[in-house]
Amino acid sequence: MRAPIPRRDTNDIVAAIVEECGDPSIEGHVRALIDGLRTETPPLFGNRKVNEEFADKLRRRINRVEAALKVVPEGFPLLVLFAPEAFLPFYLLGQFPAGQGATAEIAEGLIDTAMEQTQKRLERLQQDLATLRARCDQVIALGLGEHGSAGYPQERAALCSREIMDRCGLPLTCSPTSKYCKVASLFFEAMTGEENRDMRRPCESMACSPFCTEKSSNL
């Protein structure tokens, strides 16, 4: 029976990452990232199946709201939904704003202003709904989240590699021989002791994700 191959120590892995990137100044930051990787934290994006189901449900609800807003019944009081709150006492109860006289001219001006604001707020809501639906599409298209408990360590390692690539000005190329994937594999080794893990898939996910804005050292 063959003796188990001993794991490389942290110094060796740090040295390998520094050599791969060609920048000795990153050594301290690499060590900090490795320390963070060895601290248990919950999955960055949760469970993939749950995320997809919720995003799809929310997207369908958005579609229903958008469809309803396109066929508002004639005479429906959109002013009540979208006009500034200060206008409602006048619209609902006939109460003029304090300090203004109760004249037809003032009433006409109040109504014109309220209708203008109503249209602007309705358009803003429609824009926000479209943006939210597009974000739901992104969550589904990117497959954010993990299959059960699998994959999360790989994502964390890939995110650390992405941070180092950004720091060193290196590209996020996803190939078996790219520095991005090699460094991710080294970070994964620092976490698990497993060497030469294929990190292309998690690296691709982290490279294209628009949500990776926080520092990896916080993971």
Mean pLDDT of 79-97: 68
Cβ distance 18 to 27 under 8 Å? yes
**In the chain, how long is the greatest CA-to-CA distance?**
99
Q: What is the pLDDT of residue 93?
A: 53
Residue 1 has pLDDT above 50, yes or no: no
Q: What is the pLDDT of residue 213?
A: 43
CA 152 – CA 63 distance, rounded (Å): 32
Domain spans of the chain, in order of start:
10-45+148-199, 48-142
Q: What is the pLDDT of residue 67?
A: 94
pLDDT by residue (tens digit) across 163-172? 999 999 999 9
In 3D space, the residue among 172, 145, 193 whose CA is nearest the CA of residue 37 turns out to be 193
Residue 124 has pLDDT above 90, yes or no: yes
Crossing angle of helices 179-192 and 27-37, in 10° steps, is: 50
- What percentage of the chain exceeds 90 in pLDDT? 47
Mean pLDDT over all residues of the chain? 82
Report residue 14 CA to chain centroid gap: 30
End-to-end CA distance of the chain: 39
Residue 148 has pLDDT above 60, yes or no: no
Residue 15 has pLDDT above 90, yes or no: yes
In 3D space, the residue among 175, 209, 171 whose CA is nearest the CA of residue 21 turns out to be 171
Residue of higher predicted confidence among 94 and 135? 135
Q: What is the pLDDT of residue 97?
A: 55
Report residue 95 CA to chain centroid gap: 45
Quickly tell me which residue has 């941070």 as its tokens.
Answer: 163
